[in-house]
């Protein structure tokens, strides 16, 4: 089922994001965790791929498995990095032939060794161009795009960042899935500003449960996510206690999700990091 139909027919669209494991043991662990998460009836499961499209084949493999073995719609990530327009179209054709109906259209990060993103000759420079390409050549694809409640690190201002988002929406995006955040007020402000620009497609908050403080600090430092001082203080106090960190992180995510649902969000997108325990505890708490 495509994104537009999911949001039209379901009162709340729950989605889970995974990444392709690098080993057979990782594959087995992910299958086990997905079996757990499937019990919460996610509307779809998205699958990333590595820098420069380095795991594209594995991404397609997992999208096939999600649809055939777990009986859920898959959404494949898709970036402009390192590919010409012709290569992008070829991969889109392959994904469509595999029965994949949803694409997360991203510009992608600059490859290792490059200070800034630069399109290859004959390639695309921005996500809105990628959305246009998908919409023109595969008009029936469901298209998701990224939104940044606390601004993309490369954007000069929040106004410019939301204008960039509006270009992706005008190019044909069906839904916005946000970067992870830990301060709900920042999401609400972002949502209000989108409404002011007449962005009318669903805006879905992205939640990453904290299970390891050191790991989440690395992730937030890379994407510029605001980390609440009070939450950081609590986690620092138990930095030698992994279980306490897990419990604090899950507690915070539950509070976030309850407040977001009360505020009428159309869904929640969980960055599961290929694990199930934290998401399972959160969903056990917030699902009726």
46 vs 67: CA distance, rounded Å: 11
| Residue 17 is among the residues annotated as catalytic for this protein | yes
> How is residue 170 written in tokens?
């005008």
Residue with tokens 């510029």: 224
Residue with tokens 């994407």: 223
Report CA-CA distances (Å) from 2 to 102, 140, 201: 6, 8, 14
The dihedral built from the CA positions of residue 262, 265, 266 and 272, taken in this order, carries a sign that is negative
29 C-beta neighbours (distance < 10 Å), count: 15
Report CA-CA distances (Å) from 131 to 3, 5, 40, 189: 14, 18, 30, 25
| Segments in the chain forming alpha helices (H) | 3-9, 24-38, 56-68, 85-97, 127-137, 158-171, 184-196, 213-223, 229-237, 242-262, 277-286
Residues 38 and 72: beta-carbon distance below 8 Å: yes
Residue with tokens 């989440």: 216
CA within 13 Å, CB half, 127: 28
206 vs 184: CA distance, rounded Å: 11
**Residue 138 CB contacts under 8 Å (≥ 6 apart), including other chains:** 92, 96
Residues 148 and 163: beta-carbon distance below 8 Å: no
Q: Give the active site residue among 5, 17, 247, 258.
A: 17
- The conformation of residue 120, written as its DSSP 8-state character, comes to P
Active-site amino acid positions: 17
């Amino acid at each position: 089922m495509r994104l537009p139909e999911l949001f039209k027919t379901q009162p709340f669209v729950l989605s889970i994001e995974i990444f392709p494991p690098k080993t057979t043991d990782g594959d087995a662990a992910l299958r086990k965790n997905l079996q757990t998460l499937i019990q919460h009836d996610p509307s779809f499961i998205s699958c990333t791929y590595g820098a420069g499209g380095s795991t594209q084949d594995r991404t397609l493999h997992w999208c096939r498995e999600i649809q055939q073995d777990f009986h859920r719609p898959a959404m494949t990530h898709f970036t402009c990095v390192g590919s010409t327009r012709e290569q992008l179209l070829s991969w889109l054709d392959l994904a469509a032939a595999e029965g994949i109906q949803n694409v997360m259209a991203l510009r992608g990060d600059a490859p290792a060794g490059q200070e800034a993103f630069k399109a290859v000759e004959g390639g695309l420079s921005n996500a809105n161009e990628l959305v246009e390409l998908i919409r023109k050549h595969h008009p029936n694809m469901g298209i998701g795009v990224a939104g940044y409640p606390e601004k993309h690190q490369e954007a000069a201002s929040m106004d410019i960042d939301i204008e960039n988002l509006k270009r992706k929406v005008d190019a044909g995006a069906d839904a916005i899935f946000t970067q992870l955040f830990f301060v709900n007020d920042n999401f609400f402000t972002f949502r209000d500003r989108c409404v002011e620009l007449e962005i009318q497609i669903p805006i879905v908050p992205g939640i990453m449960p904290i299970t390891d403080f050191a790991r989440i600090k690395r992730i937030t430092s890379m994407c510029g996510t605001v980390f609440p001082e009070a939450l950081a203080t609590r986690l620092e106090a138990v930095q030698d206690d992994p279980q306490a960190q897990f419990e604090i992180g899950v507690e915070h995510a539950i509070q976030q999700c309850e407040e977001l649902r009360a505020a009428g969000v159309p869904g929640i997108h969980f960055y599961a990091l290929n694990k199930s325990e934290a998401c399972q505890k959160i969903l056990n708490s917030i699902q009726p």
